[in-house]
Amino acid sequence: MKIKTKIETPYYLIDEKGLLRNLKKIKYLRDHSGAKSVLALKCFSTWAVFDLMSKYMDGTTSSSLYEAKLGYEKFGKETHAFSVAYSNDDIDGLKNICDKIIFNSVSQLKMFFNEVKHIKIGLRVNPCISYSHFDLADPARKYSRLGVVSKEDILSILDNISGLMFHYNCENDDFESFSDMLDEISMKYEEVLSKVEWVSLGGGLYFTKNNYPLDKFCKKLENFSRRYNVQVYLEPGEAVVTESCELVTTVLDIVKNVKTIAIVDASIEAHMLDLLTYRIVAKISAEVGENEYIIAGSSCLAGDIFGKYKVKDELKIGSEVRFTDAAGYTMVKKNWFNGLRMPSIVIKKLNGNLEIIKKFLYKDFLDSLS
C-alpha cells in the first residue's frame, strides 16, 4: 500500500537504502574472502524485505523450527537449522527443509543422527572464549549450556559431521579481538578443523560498522579458509540491519516530576524489549540542545523509560520522536503487553516510496490470546 498521507504512529520504518548499504558490505566480504553469510532470523525476521536481502546473502540460519520454516519458505537459498535442544517434532519438521542442521550436544546428535544423516550435520563448539559486554548474552559464560566443551567428545563423533559452529561473539566491533580469538581457536582445534568441510563463525561481528577494517577482516577469513580447506560461514543479524530502521512515535503527554517527562505512544517494554533487558538507552534522531527530557513509554510499567535526552527543539504534545537503530531484536520481540497498539511495519523502498506492509489491529491482539 503506497502512502500519500501522514502515517499513524507508532510504526517501524525500515529504510531499504540503509539495508542496502550493509548488504553491499556483505557482498564485498564474500567476493574478497569467500565467506558466505546467512541471516540470523533470531535477530530480524521481517520477510517483506527478504527479496532484497536474498540478492546479497546466501540464506538463513534459525534457532527453532518456525524460524527455519520461515527462512525456507520466504528467503530461499541455504537453510541452516540450530537449536539448543530439538524435540522429535522439530526433527520431523526440519529434516526435509534444511541444508544443514547443527546440534548443540553430542547426545542430541547421536539421538537424531539416523533421521538426519542425509543432511550436512554440524556440531556447536564452546571454545571457552568470547567477546560480550553482557553476561546475559555471553555464550562462554560460566556453566554455559551452549556448545560442546570437550575436544574428546568432538573427536568421538567426527565421522558423523561435516562442519562445526563457533558462535562466541556478541556485538564485537574490535577486529583485533576477533583476530586473536580466531588464532586461539585455530591452535586449539587444528586437528578437528582440518577434517571438516565447513565452519560457521557465528554472528555478533559488527563488520558493517563505519571504519571497520573490512579488508583485514576479509584477509583473515580467507587465510583461515585456505589453511583448513573449509567453507566459512558467518551468521550476521545486527550487522545486516544496523542503522536501517526507526521506531516512529508521537508525544501524547508532557508531565513533570522534578524532571520533564514526555510520554510517547509506544513502549520500550513492548516494542524495544531488548534495550530494556540489557538496560541500554534508546538512540533518538534529534539534534542535541538544551531542552532536557525523560522520554517514557505509555505502558503501566514504572520503568518503561526509553532514556534521558537533551534536544534542540522543545517537545510538545503531538511532536514526533524517532528512535533509531530499531531493527535488530525489536520486531522479533514485540509483544502485546498492556494491550498497547502494536507498531505498524512500514518500508521505505529504494525509490523513496513508503509502503505499509503490516498494520496490527484488535483482532491480532485477540487472536494472540485464547
Q: Contact, 296 vs 306, CB < 8 A?
A: yes
Any idea what DSSP says for residue 366? H
- Cα–Cα distance measured from residue 169 to residue 201, given in angstroms and rounded to the nearest whole number: 9
pTM, whole model, 2 decimals?
0.95
CB–CB of 122/83 below 8 Å? no
Q: Which helix (H) or strand (E) holds 184?
A: helix 175-188
Instruction: Name 368's Cβ contacts closer than 8 Å, sequence gap at least 6.
Output: 336
Contacts of 121 (CB under 8 A, 6+ apart): 100, 101, 102, 103, 109, 113, 160, 161, 162, 163
- Cis-peptide into 10, omega within 30 deg: yes
Q: In this predicted structure, what is the pLDDT of residue 5?
A: 66
- Asked whether the beta carbons of 38 and 80 are under 8 A apart, the reply is yes
Integer Cα distance of 67 and 92 in angstroms:
15
- CA 356 – CA 4 distance, rounded (Å): 11
- Write out the DSSP string of 20-36: HHHHHHHHHHHHHH--E
Instruction: Tell me the domains of the chain and their CATH numbers.
Output: 18-241 (3.20.20.10), 244-367 (2.40.37.10)
Q: From the DSSP assignment, how many helices (H) and strands (E) are in the chain?
A: 13, 16
Cell 540542545 belongs to residue: 289
79 bridge partner residues: 60
| 3-class SS string, 216-261 | HHHHHHHHHHHHHCCEEEECCCHHHHCCCEEEEEEEEEEEEECEEE
pLDDT digits (tens), the chain, 370 positions: 455 568 999 999 999 999 999 999 999 999 999 999 999 999 999 999 999 999 999 999 999 999 999 999 999 999 999 999 999 999 999 999 999 999 999 999 999 999 999 999 999 999 999 999 999 999 999 999 999 999 999 999 999 999 999 999 998 999 999 999 999 999 999 999 999 999 999 999 999 999 999 999 999 999 999 999 999 999 999 999 999 999 999 999 999 999 999 999 999 999 999 999 999 999 999 999 999 999 999 999 999 999 999 999 999 999 999 999 999 999 999 999 999 999 999 999 999 999 999 999 999 999 999 9
pLDDT at residue number 6: 87
- pLDDT score for 4: 54
Q: What is the pLDDT of residue 269?
A: 97
CA dist 205 → 16, 102, 117, 237, 239 (Å): 21, 20, 31, 9, 7
d(C-alpha 269, C-alpha 98), whole Å = 34
CA distance linking residue 139 with residue 277, whole number of Å: 17
> How many Å apart are CA 317 and CA 351, to the nearest integer?
32
- Distance CA(31)–CA(28), nearest Å, equals 5
Q: Is the dihedral of CA 38, 153, 128, 276 positive or negative?
A: positive
pLDDT of residue 3: 52
Question: Could you tell me which of 92, 97, 93, 57 has the C-alpha nearest to residue 80?
Answer: 97
